[in-house]
Structure 1
Amino acid sequence: MEGLNDKVIVFAGAGGIADGTAKFLGAGGAKIVVGDIVKENAERCVQIVKDAGGDGIAAALDIADEEQVKNLIDLAIAKFGKINGLFNVAANIHPQEVAKDTNPVDIDLDVWQRNIDINLTGYMLTSKYAIPHILKAGGGSIVNTISDAVYAGMPDKLTYSVTKAGIGALTRNIAARFGKQGIRCNAVSPGLVLTEAGLQNSGHLVEMVLQMMPAPRVGKPEDMGSMVSFLLSDLSEWITGQTICVDGGAVMRT
């Protein structure tokens, strides 16, 4: 993809959609700095971008830990000298954690708070530390990941849905505040994407989703990766403050 050569993009999160995005960024000549709670996941993502023709470095990251977030941004500057973009894709989606994310009556407050710390505060922290460097580079692009759960009205996954909705507001705030200084900020809203985590969490939902949406298949990581890469590239320089559903038409909001 054009408009990516020599750009330095920080990933907060690896695996699945991040891996699908790394393929496009590597082919475009970008460099990535990837942090994930499981460092091996980050290392695999970096290898994908290298195999495709780019470069990168991996680190362990708990996105809810402010010091670790700052260290990831510092690592990007130390390794590559600049930051042109940020891709926030981390989420608390371990099956055991998802099972605890129920509804306002039954949810444990610790579960609520941990999901907020990871899914929402973490995105604010990466933005807090990356934006000054993106400004120094003359501007760039931030892409946040929300979810069709924001629109679907789910009977469970309470804090997942609430935090993803909050990320939409965070996205628009950044776009409005820093747009004149050259920073674009958009969100992508995935439908059912068959990542490893998606398969573990979806089960019988696959057939149900296929019945409801216009597209003949559920999503692949590369479906998201192509959109994220476009938004991180110079090709999308007049798109900001938007949430783009990449979901096979599952949520058309008509």
Structure 2
Amino acid sequence: MGRLENKVALLTGAASGIGLSTAQLMAKEGAKVVIADYNEEGAKKAAEDIKADGGEASGIFLDASKADSIKEAVDFTVEKYGTLTIMHNHVGLTNLKKDLDVVNIDLDEWDRLMNVNTKSALLGSRYAIPHMQKAGGGSIINTVSIGAIDGDSTRTAYGASKAAVANMTKYIAAQYGKDNIRCNSIAPGLILTPSAEENLPQQVREIFLKYNALPYHGQPEDIGHAAVYLASDESKFMTGQMLVIDGGYTITNPVIADFNKLMNS
């Protein structure tokens, strides 16, 4: 407890799932948190639940496709709590019906995902950095994806947009490190959020589990704990890095699961 005492965090896209778990864990560690989400009702409820648990939080509306809305979220945070020292750019949209392979992808969807997933992280950082400079430093955390690392048969725009954020993380770290501002990213694998549990068929979950090095799926708090670490002074000598938290999904030769099955048959 208290690892984030006296810190103020703004988390975008945090009304549910990984973002919500991260906000709850940051609040438990002493941070004042602002939950900004398109689902304003969900953001406000999440904040009320945190306060009922003894933390300090506010929930506000955010349209991550609009620069003014992102700036307003940053301004609200500073006006409410006096500073901003943790910026968690967590927004990530996807569309399985339109974000397809390169030949068939809807180009309007490409533009939308690039604007929301990549530009929102740029703008969140852009508006947060001056306040972090005034505060004497801060930590920017960008949620990316294992889709930023490996290719896939679909979700081309999602993967490309998150790869752009992963690389932008290094640029931010390089440009503002002398101001004591760190920037790191987290690349989750399959995480069993309530939405994933509701929408992912068991067959899909088993495919991921087959190729995980570990014998279980990730939970939202697995990412939340990593974000707390990156937000805390425990990671004060770490910047420009990507934490891949995927149960070992991306570390192995892709045929190992099939070879193990063959050897044990």
Is TM more than 0.5 here? yes
Contact 1:215 1:248 survives alignment (8 Å): yes
Residue matched to 1:77:
78
* 1:141 Cα deviation after fit: 0.3
- 1:194 and 2:195 are equivalent in the alignment: no
1:35 counterpart SS class: strand
- 1:145 and 2:143 are equivalent in the alignment: yes
2:119 counterpart SS class: helix
Residue matched to 2:38:
37
Counterpart-to-counterpart distance in 2, 1:128 and 1:70: 9
Question: Identity over the aligned pairs, expressed in percent?
Answer: 37
| Higher alpha-carbon deviation: 58-67 or 18-27 | 18-27
Q: 1:32-72: per-residue Cα shift (whole Å, max 9, x none)? A: 11111111221233234324432111111111100101110
2:57 counterpart SS class: strand
* 1:11 Cα deviation after fit: 0.6
Question: Out of 124, 132, 135, which is 1:134 matched to?
Answer: 132
* 1:197 Cα deviation after fit: 3.0
Q: How well do the aligned residues superpose, as a CA RMSD in angstroms?
A: 1.5
Gaps of 5+ in 2: 254-265
Residue matched to 2:247:
248
Residue matched to 1:172:
170
* 1:120 Cα deviation after fit: 0.4
In the TM superposition, 1:48-127 aligns within 5 A as: 48-93=49-94, 97-127=95-125
Contact 2:25 2:228 survives alignment (8 Å): yes
Residue matched to 1:19:
20
Q: 1:126-146: per-residue Cα shift (whole Å, max 9, x none)? A: 111011001111101010001
- 1:214 and 2:179 are equivalent in the alignment: no
Q: 1:180-200: per-residue Cα shift (whole Å, max 9, x none)? A: 110000000001001133335
Call closer, same or farther: CA 1:156–1:200 in 2, change over 3 Å: farther
TM-score calculated relative to the size of structure 2: 0.90
How many residues align? The count is: 251
- Structure number with greater Rg is 2
Counterpart-to-counterpart distance in 2, 1:198 and 1:135: 38
Q: Which has the higher contact order (CA 8 A, sep 6+)?
A: 1
TM-score calculated relative to the size of structure 1: 0.94
